[in-house]
A and B are shown apart, each in its own frame.
Chain A
Amino acid sequence: MNVIPVGLQSIFSWSGLSSLAVGLAAVSIILWLIVRIRTRDFWMPIIRILEMPVSRLPRIIVKKPPWIPFIAFVVSAAALSLWSTRPSVKVFSEFEPGISQIHVYVDMSPSVSAHITLTELGQKLVSVLEQIGPKARVSFGTSHGDDVYEMTTPSSAAELIMGLGFHRGGSKIGRGIRAQVARIGEIDQLFIISDRDQHSWGGFQWQYLLVDADVRHVDVEATSNREFLSNVFIQDAHFLSAVGARTMDWEIEISEGVLATAESGTLTASYGGETLGSVNWDIPAGRRHATISMAWPSMQIPQDGSKQAIEWTLEVVGGDSLILDNKFRTPVIGRRDRVLVIGEPTGELRLEDPLSPLETALEVSGYDVLRFDQWPLLATGKTPEFMTGAQFMIVLSGEDSSRDSWCPKLATSEMTQVSRVGRRGIPIWITPRLAGESFAAICQCVAQYGLGITKDMCDEGLPRERWIDILVAVGAKQIGGEVGAAHEGIAMLLMDPVKGLDLTLFTVPLRPNPKFGITWGSFPILIKRLASLTTVQTSGSEDSGGGAWFRFSDVSEVADRDFGSDVSRTMVLRETNVPMGESMLAFVAPAELPPSWSASGGVARNHAPNKRDSEDPWPWVRVLVGSIIMAMLAEIVWQWRRLRMARMEKLAAILLITVGSFVWENQSQAQVHIDWMNTKESTIVTFQTLAHEVSSRTSFEMSPKPDFFSVFDEAASERPWVWTASVSKLADSNGRMTKVGRMWLKRGGILIVDGPQPTGALEKLLEPLMRGTVNPSGWMGLPPDHEFMRSFYLLNSLPSCKGRGWQIFSFDGRVAAIAAPYSLLSSLQDVPQKWSCDTAVANEQQVRIFVNLMMMAFTTDYKRDQIHLPEILKRLRAPQ
């Protein structure tokens, strides 16, 4: 039985609440007493008139903000937010059959063909279309052009795709989709069937589509069964010989995309189906380019002006991923072109011939001149034999009475036939015989072609000025002279693409004449310039180059252009050289692409996600409130000086720094650890001496204990550098670096291989890094002028071991890995290991190498900065 004193019994019989109150009162009295005892009061009369701070804490004085700027700030912040963002909520609404629109874009660029065959692509499309099902209207388009097809059945769509085939030109997904979406109108979901090719995806900001639609990427690479891609292609072909030389020398650049593995094969050049020559080539491992020379006699290419091109065919031993780019066509260059000159000589002597200087000038410029005195009688509708292969024709005018003997009387159809490309006729130059003579005869000659010039314009004794005025009036273009001053020009260009006329009508005699500023010296140059002008006009950019192929980086952009009658759209799509960007097979990181679509379904299958409801006002209200809060916070920060700290600022600052430095103590310490990847952790291995050396020589603090770890996982990829004695720990079963390791190196890690490795192990390890466009250098000996040699100490040489030297692997312009020929760490331990190399190396040298290595790993190439140059020079000049 409990014994409770009588006095207390009454207390315990009270309710719990009363006893609690009594207890609290007692506690408060005790506290009050403690406070009273502790604080001794003292009356200080002076205090009554002194304005003393009442509290130790900062007194917050609420001041009214300056209202107008404040409101202006709120309004502008809100306006900025509302205009630059579109606040909305995600509403998952069901697809509505017949109303919702789904579009499928099929990329059929060459790079896709490296991953997937045409049949497989068709199957892929079928599977995507079947998954979509009948829940919405489905359309699809290809990278061939801007055409949009309505899907009837998946199999018919696949048939259409397979009928089109891959195109040889490149594709830009961004442009193609923009054009197709513009044709469809509003879409709710977009599927992009493509690979991850950098060229195709380049410049495509797909995020803008997310405002209205859901974008999904169907990756053809995901299902590809090709393990490694390698691709060899012709990058360029240069013609080296002079025009009209006996041999045609070419230099062909062969490049390798993706991997810098060793490749070999044969390159064949052919013209018009006949082989011109064939040569073997090989690209050694680690290299990505090879330059091959080829030559053949000029005779092998007939001088017939035909449209054929030189076709280069590449055969790769073992085959390569992209077959489309193994055919490459270049125009025929270096062939002597033919010029037809018609004009009657005035005497027997060559000097008396008004066309003699012209003939010489043309020959000098690389043309074969075919000279006729008179225009022959022709059968109508038949191309004159002699005109075959002629680039252009020069006619010397004569008397009006003998006009038939010199004036070209070609029917339009004939002109077109002899023309080399399109509807352009053969260019004809007509030049007067003498300066100052009447242009009536030429006018009569031109009048027969129509073009707005009628015979009654051609008065007897038509002077030059009047003739030029007539030509200007009918739309001829001035050649030479100042802009707008046609009388100062030397010729007028009259063209009619419909009729196929290309007339260059000279208003001065085409021979040296000081009066017109044409000297004997400048005449050949002038002729060459005029001839090139004429040639460019006839083989303009829209021409397929006489059978040669151009490179189109985006085929859909050019597919809809009018190329005239003989360059069909199909030709553009099928007969172009594959652009380099496609051949490189470089990839975009998956994170930069739209979310990929999985056939297994999910929300995306049945709903139209990201369909935003613009009626909901809440997002807007939230943005407004957020703006006001931000504005108020900014205001408070601005008014901070108004908050009086009762002269406590300095103390408060010191306190904050002190507290802060205690709280974030571990962050404020920086220490270099040797991150040593080793299978077994050793507690004996320490680097006390080295750590001391490092801290006394540099601004770095080094931990004397190395940081051991055995597996290179995600956690290990936080380390700035990794030392390993054997690369096999970092490699997968094939000897190649693991994906985590590769990502780590790409992100900036540096691998230090501490000791000799089996032959080929290093190359194999970093082989996956050789792909891409970041200029991997491959393993190479350390150059004496490398930044490693001067990152801290100026090293003259590095010690080799048993004939092996130091090797580095650069990547993206920096050192990603470095391989020592011996174990540097073993020699730097507190208890050094047995030295295995031939010649001993001083410990000082070893420490310096370590310091340089550390500096390079942690500060990269800071010494490239010019600001350090004076210091470096000072050290170089200082006595050793």
Chain B
Amino acid sequence: MESHLSSNYTLADLQPGIPEDIASSRSKSSPRMQGSMIMNLRRISRSPENSRVYVHGDPIRLIDWKAYARTDELIVREHRDEASANVAIVLDRGDTLNWPPQASLREHGVAEKSLPKIETAIRIALYLAYSHLTIGDAVTLGFLDHRGDVSRVWIPRSPTDVLDMYAHCVRSGFADALESFMVVANWTPTNFNCTWWLSDFLSNTVFPDAWTEIRGLSVIHVFSWLESKSAWMDGPTTYRDESRGRKIYLGDQLKAADAWATAMKDWRSKVHKTVKKAGGVYLAIDDHTKVGDFFHWLTTEAIR
């Protein structure tokens, strides 16, 4: 059987709990591993994170004798335990996330499967919510409105809630289904130990001021694969910016000499820099991004 991490699976196929999160399986093996919050208190451990010189009073049995044999120095290893955390998942709910409209795609003869960006974003959000709930975190999922505020939230209580929501989404459309469960609430960014931010940074305030206050920020820049690539564009078709209606481009022109790819790269790196400045980590994805790549980013950069 093919693993979900194999190259054929993209984020368009992502479901809560499938594929199984590496972190959730790990947490089950240890009573001390719970939640995604890393405690500040360090503890001497055999599965070490850090090492320090032995201090009188440390348990002798935990001295790293092999290190002593090598260095003639008494070394002990330390580890930090995990605790359950307050996790926020913020979803941008701008119009541009509904792009691409499916009718328009058919008209242009785009044969390949193409999700609206909001669907990709919700799939990721539900997956993250499910994973966090599985390892014991508390999760709050909020929509970012056009003012840049999070005024409506959905708080799943268990992983089962997330699975129910996913089934609901598949039945009656992702954005609408999730929105129908939202309740009005006060949103204080500092209440959360860890925040996931999913947006295309087009409709809403592109770079919220609140970012500086947010702890554990991970930004996922959501694209449609039609935006990431220009190969599908055709010559006589014009592409325009509907919001202002002034700029009209020809497909040829966008494709020519990587103009599109370069412009996109610049745009991504601009967002990346801003996120990095706010102390967050950044990933640009589209619905054609491989699940394996996404997991790699999750395990190497996002979860610290």
Q: Which residues of A contact B (CB under 8 A)?
A: 38-54, 56, 646-648, 650-651
Q: How far is the CA of A245 from the CA of B115 in the complex (A)?
A: 123
> Which residues does chain A contribute within 8 Å of B258, judged by CB atoms?
647
Q: Quote the shortest CB–CB distance from A46 to chain B (angstroms).
A: 5
Contact B241 A47 (CB under 8 A): yes
Can you list 13 pairs linking A and B with CB atoms under 8 Å apart? Answer: A38-B236, A40-B237, A40-B238, A41-B238, A44-B241, A46-B223, A47-B241, A48-B241, A48-B247, A49-B202, A52-B249, A646-B259, A648-B256
Find B259's partner among A41, A43, A647 (CB 8 Å cutoff): A647
> Which residues does chain A contribute within 8 Å of B257, judged by CB atoms?
646-648, 650-651
Contact A39 B244 (CB under 8 A): no
Known: A43-B104, A46-B267, A50-B263. 17 other contacts (CB 8 A): A38-B236, A39-B236, A40-B108, A41-B239, A41-B248, A42-B237, A42-B239, A42-B240, A44-B99, A45-B200, A46-B223, A47-B240, A49-B267, A52-B263, A53-B259, A646-B256, A648-B257
Contact A41 B237 (CB under 8 A): yes
Contact A45 B96 (CB under 8 A): yes
Contact B263 A51 (CB under 8 A): yes
> Which residues does chain B contribute within 8 Å of A38, judged by CB atoms?
236
List the 3 closest A-B pairs by CB distance, nearest first. A647-B257, A45-B96, A48-B241
Q: Which residues of B contact A (CB under 8 A)?
A: 95-96, 99, 101, 104, 107-108, 200-202, 223, 227, 236-244, 247-250, 252-254, 256-260, 263-264, 266-267
Q: How far is the CA of A48 from the CA of B94 in the complex (A)?
A: 14
Nearest A residue (CB) for B94: A45
Contact A54 B99 (CB under 8 A): no
Find A50's partner among B200, B201, B240, B267 (CB 8 Å cutoff): B267
> Which residues does chain A contribute within 8 Å of B99, judged by CB atoms?
43-45
> Which residues does chain A contribute within 8 Å of B248, judged by CB atoms?
41
Q: Quote the shortest CB–CB distance from B255 to chain A (angstroms).
A: 11
Nearest B residue (CB) for A43: B242
Contact B253 A48 (CB under 8 A): no
Q: How far is the CA of A647 from the CA of B101 in the complex (A)?
A: 32
Contact A46 B202 (CB under 8 A): yes
Contact A45 B243 (CB under 8 A): yes
Contact B107 A40 (CB under 8 A): yes
Contact B240 A41 (CB under 8 A): yes
Q: How far is the CA of A56 from the CA of B253 in the complex (A)?
A: 7
Known: A39-B238, A648-B256. A52 touches B247 (CB 8 A): yes
Known: A50-B264, A52-B247. A45 touches B237 (CB 8 A): no
> Which residues does chain B contribute within 8 Å of A48, judged by CB atoms?
202, 241, 243-244, 247
Q: How far is the CA of A45 from the CA of B242 in the complex (A)?
A: 7
Contact B253 A45 (CB under 8 A): no
> Which residues does chain A contribute within 8 Å of B101, judged by CB atoms?
43
Find B236's partner among A40, A646, A647 (CB 8 Å cutoff): A40
Q: How far is the CA of A43 from the CA of B239 in the complex (A)?
A: 6
Q: Quote the shortest CB–CB distance from B197 to chain A (angstroms).
A: 18
Contact B247 A47 (CB under 8 A): yes
Q: How far is the CA of A41 from the CA of B267 in the complex (A)?
A: 23
Q: Quote the shortest CB–CB distance from A38 to chain B (angstroms).
A: 5
Nearest B residue (CB) for A53: B259
> Which residues does chain B contribute within 8 Å of A45, judged by CB atoms?
95-96, 99, 200, 202, 241-243
> Which residues does chain B contribute within 8 Å of A50, judged by CB atoms?
260, 263-264, 266-267
> Which residues does chain B contribute within 8 Å of A51, judged by CB atoms?
263, 266
> Which residues does chain B contribute within 8 Å of A47, judged by CB atoms?
239-241, 247, 249
> Which residues does chain B contribute within 8 Å of A647, judged by CB atoms?
256-259
Contact B247 A43 (CB under 8 A): no
Residue among A42, A43, A648 with the highest chain B CB neighbour number at 10 A: A42
> Which residues does chain A contribute within 8 Å of B249, judged by CB atoms?
47, 52, 54
> Which residues does chain A contribute within 8 Å of B96, judged by CB atoms?
45
Q: How far is the CA of A647 from the CA of B255 in the complex (A)?
A: 12
Q: Quote the shortest CB–CB distance from B213 to chain A (angstroms).
A: 25
Q: Quote the shortest CB–CB distance from A598 to chain B (angstroms).
A: 67
> Which residues does chain B contribute within 8 Å of A39, judged by CB atoms?
236-238, 250
Contact B253 A53 (CB under 8 A): yes
> Which residues does chain A contribute within 8 Å of B259, judged by CB atoms?
52-53, 646-647
Q: Quote the shortest CB–CB distance from A44 to chain B (angstroms).
A: 4
Q: How far is the CA of A46 from the CA of B242 in the complex (A)?
A: 10
Q: Quote the shortest CB–CB distance from A423 to chain B (angstroms).
A: 94
Q: How far is the CA of A52 from the CA of B227 in the complex (A)?
A: 14
Nearest B residue (CB) for A646: B259
Nearest B residue (CB) for A44: B239
> Which residues does chain A contribute within 8 Å of B240, judged by CB atoms?
41-44, 47
Q: Quote the shortest CB–CB distance from A208 to chain B (angstroms).
A: 58
Q: How far is the CA of A39 from the CA of B252 in the complex (A)?
A: 12
Q: Quote the shortest CB–CB distance from A31 to chain B (angstroms).
A: 15
Q: How far is the CA of A46 from the CA of B101 in the complex (A)?
A: 14
> Which residues does chain A contribute within 8 Å of B239, judged by CB atoms?
41-44, 47
Q: How far is the CA of A798 from the CA of B39 in the complex (A)?
A: 103
Contact A46 B253 (CB under 8 A): no
Q: How far is the CA of A56 from the CA of B104 in the complex (A)?
A: 26
> Which residues does chain B contribute within 8 Å of A44, judged by CB atoms?
99, 227, 239-241
> Which residues does chain B contribute within 8 Å of A43, judged by CB atoms?
99, 101, 104, 239-242
Q: How far is the CA of A46 from the CA of B99 in the complex (A)?
A: 10
Q: How far is the CA of A41 from the CA of B236 in the complex (A)?
A: 9
Residue among A47, A52, A648 with the highest chain B CB neighbour number at 10 A: A47
Q: How far is the CA of A40 from the CA of B249 in the complex (A)?
A: 11
Contact A54 B247 (CB under 8 A): yes
Q: How far is the CA of A49 from the CA of B248 in the complex (A)?
A: 13
Nearest B residue (CB) for A56: B253
Q: How far is the CA of A44 from the CA of B227 in the complex (A)?
A: 8
> Which residues does chain A contribute within 8 Å of B223, judged by CB atoms?
46
> Which residues does chain B contribute within 8 Å of A54, judged by CB atoms?
247, 249
Nearest B residue (CB) for A38: B236
Nearest B residue (CB) for A41: B238
Nearest B residue (CB) for A648: B257
Nearest B residue (CB) for A54: B247
Q: How far is the CA of A50 from the CA of B247 in the complex (A)?
A: 11
> Which residues does chain B contribute within 8 Å of A651, judged by CB atoms?
257
Contact B254 A52 (CB under 8 A): yes
Q: Quote the shortest CB–CB distance from A78 to chain B (angstroms).
A: 43
> Which residues does chain A contribute within 8 Å of B236, judged by CB atoms?
38-40
> Which residues does chain B contribute within 8 Å of A42, judged by CB atoms?
104, 108, 237-240
Q: How far is the CA of A752 from the CA of B192 in the complex (A)?
A: 100
Q: How far is the CA of A43 from the CA of B200 in the complex (A)?
A: 16
Nearest B residue (CB) for A649: B257
Q: How far is the CA of A647 from the CA of B259 in the complex (A)?
A: 8
Q: Quote the shortest CB–CB distance from B107 to chain A (angstroms).
A: 7
